[in-house]
Structure 1
Amino acid sequence: MQFLGRTSYVTYLLHWVAIELALFGLLQVAPNMNNRFLLAVYCTLIVYPITYVASDLIHRYLELPVIRWAKRGSRASTSKLNSPLVAARP
């Protein structure tokens, strides 16, 4: 559950792209597939692992570094505002 909580926003952003790509790929491989239920099952089996692996990778290597960078920047600007020289200015 903690994994889903950490990656929920990235998963939300990626899931529709993964669904569209999976549907496109499935319809390219089997253009005469008329059974919508079977198409949905195949799409789900493809999309779940791709979405969660991609979400985890994006969360680790893109989202967390940006969050850390933003926290460092906010601490630096806060410490500059609290310095005695800034406080002494009228």
Structure 2
Amino acid sequence: MYLGSIVEIGETDALYGAPRHPYTRALLSAVPQPHDRGKRERILLDAEIPSPLNPPRGCKFSTRCPCAKPLCHEVRPPLTGEAGGRSVTCHFPFA
């Protein structure tokens, strides 16, 4: 969840193995893994978290997303279902 909205849903192994939303990737990059010490790239998000009382116009994550495009700042993406029971709220999810 980000600012009270679901960004990604899926089976645990699939979600941890290949997150599709940029926020999910950033969250998982912050989880310590002893076997990956120093090998995993930490994703640091820029900008301040927007106010939940006054979220951005389009995607709520667009102000901090490293993949945001103009569409993301204008149109809120729907939660779309995908193969394998996955769902993601992103215009440009990772493959």
Which of the two has greater strand per residue? 2
Which of the two has greater helix per residue? 1
Question: What TM-score do the two structures reach when normalised by structure 1?
Answer: 0.23
Q: Answer with 1 or 2: which has the greater Rg.
A: 1
